[in-house]
């Protein structure tokens, strides 16, 4: 069973029910992210699922130089800060440059290290020093057992509030595969593990100047992860994914969430009950 960490008022891990980390890939407009956050809060509240809202203020790792990246640091943090205050939900976003870390740490509950930056020692440690909580996305190029060194870096920087997110592993060109064996393997390292079901369905660079994806497989992957006993599920969602400015092919439509989350909650309850029973028997 993993440790318990805090993301604002939300507790993640320790055998608790899974936490939903969700939102649009990037802040396309204040109106879109606000309405999405309102919808997610209402839905998660109705289903009794803890929520952390996620959206990127600057998507710096786009395939093409002219791809939409978001409103930038200042405006993006202003929007996310309003969502945090007025909707009273924790917020998460990724940082890509050292100069973003301190202002983002002041505004956000969780700072996310992007998958491609997870091996950058100085960057990971600086995020860990400043952040209230850190979510390290496991690189597509890493084996599960390689994650231990990422955790060690964050701990060495003085942060024990660590999440690790599995987002698929490179499988040839322009493709990823989700190996569910990685979830219990990383969880045994003592940190809460999150499964990113939407990025695991991505086809990096598969659309030429942008990434492709197959959102149809997202529910299957999410159900499998819930069955593996993950501590959190990460979903990029959008009111109209076919018109999304980033990661639309692998994003879920909002109207697909109620049924999926209801099923995931049922699976999670069965798995966590079995885990508690097993732990009691061992003690």
Structure tokens at 235: 């979903």
| CA 88 and chain centroid, separation | 19
For the chain, how big is the Rg over CA atoms in Å?
17
Dmax (CA) for the chain in angstroms is 57
% residues pLDDT > 90 (the chain): 85
Confidence tier at 79 by pLDDT (50, 70, 90): very high
Q: What are φ and ψ of residue 11, in 5° steps?
A: -105, 135
CB 217 within 8 A of CB 210: no
Residues 6+ apart with CB under 8 A from 152: none
Phi-psi region of 24 (alpha: psi -120 to 50; beta: other; left: phi over 0): beta
Q: Residue 82 pLDDT > 80, yes or no? A: yes
**3 state SS of 154:** helix
pLDDT digits (tens, 9 = 90+) for 107-158: 999 999 999 999 999 999 999 999 999 999 999 999 999 999 999 999 999 9
CB 128 within 8 A of CB 115: no
The domain containing residue 202 runs over which residues? 4-282
Strand 169-170 to strand 176-177: parallel, antiparallel, or no bridges (unpaired)?
A: antiparallel
Assign 3-state DSSP to the chain and report helix, strand, coil percentages, each to 5: 45, 20, 35
Average pLDDT score over residue span 70-92: 97
Phi-psi region of 225 (alpha: psi -120 to 50; beta: other; left: phi over 0): alpha
Q: Residue 208 pLDDT > 70, yes or no? A: no
Q: Residue 3 pLDDT > 90, yes or no? A: no
CA distances (Å), origin 109, targets 58, 93, 220: 17, 9, 29
Which domain CATH number covers 173? 3.20.20.70
Bridge partners of 252, per DSSP, are 237
**Structural domains in the chain (count):** 1
CB 124 within 8 A of CB 141: no
Instruction: Name the strand (E) or helix (H) holding 99.
Output: helix 98-107
pLDDT digits (tens, 9 = 90+) for 212-267: 778 999 999 999 999 999 999 999 999 999 999 988 889 999 999 999 999 999 99
Q: Residue 207 pLDDT > 70, yes or no? A: no
How many CB atoms neighbour CB 207 within 10 A? Answer: 14
Residues 6+ apart with CB under 8 A from 87: 37, 38, 41, 53
Residues 6+ apart with CB under 8 A from 276: 15
Confidence tier at 84 by pLDDT (50, 70, 90): very high
CB 238 within 8 A of CB 218: no
pTM of the model: 0.96
Q: Among all chains, which residue has been given the structure tokens 């699922």?
A: 49
Average pLDDT, the chain: 94
Q: Residue 210 pLDDT > 70, yes or no? A: no
């Amino acid at each position: 069973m993993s440790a318990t960490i805090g993301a604002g008022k939300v507790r993640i891990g320790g055998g608790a029910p899974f936490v939903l980390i969700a939102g649009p890939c990037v802040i396309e407009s204040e109106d879109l992210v606000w309405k999405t956050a309102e919808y997610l809060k209402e839905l998660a509240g109705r289903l009794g699922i803890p929520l952390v809202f996620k959206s990127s203020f600057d998507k710096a790792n786009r395939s093409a130089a002219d791809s939409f990246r978001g409103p930038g640091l200042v405006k993006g943090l202003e929007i996310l800060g309003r969502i945090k205050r007025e909707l009273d939900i924790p917020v998460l976003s990724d940082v890509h440059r050292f100069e973003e870390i301190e202002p983002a740490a002041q505004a956000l509950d969780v700072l996310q290290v992007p998958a491609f930056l997870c091996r950058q020692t100085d960057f990971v440690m600086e995020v860990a020093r400043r952040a209230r909580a850190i979510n390290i996305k496991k690189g597509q190029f890493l084996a599960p057992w390689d994650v231990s060194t990422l955790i060690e870096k964050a701990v060495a920087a003085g942060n024990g509030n660590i999440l690790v997110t599995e987002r698929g592993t490179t499988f040839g060109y322009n493709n990823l595969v989700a190996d569910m064996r990685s979830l219990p393997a990383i969880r045994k390292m003592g940190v809460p593990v999150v499964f990113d079901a939407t990025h695991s369905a991505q086809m990096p660079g598969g659309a030429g100047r942008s990434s492709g994806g197959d959102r149809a497989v997202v529910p299957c992957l999410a159900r499998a992860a819930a069955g593996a006993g993950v501590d959190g599920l990460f979903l990029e969602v959008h009111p109209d994914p076919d018109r999304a400015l980033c990661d639309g092919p692998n994003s879920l439509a909002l109207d697909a969430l109620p049924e999926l989350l209801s099923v995931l909650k049922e699976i999670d309850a069965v798995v966590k009950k079995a885990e508690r029973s097993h732990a009691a028997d061992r003690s």
